[in-house]
Amino acid sequence: MDAPRSLDGVGADRVELLRRWILGVMVLGLLGTITELVLLEHYEQPLQFVPLVLIAAAIAVLAFEFRRRDAASRRALQIVMGLFVLAGFVGFVAHFLGSAEFQLDLNPDMSTWELVEKVLRAKAPPLLAPGMMLQLGLLGLAYVFSDPRHRKGEMK
């Protein structure tokens, strides 16, 4: 069995290429998601502002990262991306509860199983849409943790 290669040379180039792709996909996801949320007027209630604010924060932190490329910028990105993951889970619960409330207004006598089935099939609010925040957060964390300086302990 071959010993693991260090990140010198070709291995480092591949990691950096993958990091650029991750960053590109993340930026496209951020821009696409904020565009969709604005077009859907996803700002009618205070909780609906959370993804908009987080996306704006992510864009600002990415700009900070490009200017500084230091431990502080990486830590800020790590925190914002962690908040994205949290927002994905909270959004799922909020969408579930909002849909359940609507379904119960339509038919207050439905059983728990009927309610869950209706919520899972509901088009509005889309139950899995907050998963995009989760995906973007995980992409951002992959970007941060794939930095070779992070592995060498230079990120403290």
pLDDT digits (tens, 9 = 90+) for 105-151: 999 999 999 999 999 998 888 889 999 999 999 999 999 998 877 66
Question: CA–CA separation, 146 vs 91, rounded Å?
Answer: 27
Tell me if the pTM is above 0.75. yes
Tell me the longest C-alpha to C-alpha distance in the chain: 66
- In this prediction, residue 156 carries a pLDDT of 47
**Taking all residues of the chain, what is their mean pLDDT, rounded to a whole number?**
89
pLDDT tens-digit series, residues 31-70: 999 999 999 999 999 999 999 999 999 999 999 998 998 9
Contact call for residues 146 and 14 (beta carbons, < 8 A):
no
pLDDT grade for 154, boundaries at 50, 70 and 90: low
CA 122 – CA 125 distance, rounded (Å) = 7
Residue pair 144/61 in contact by the 8 Å Cβ criterion: no
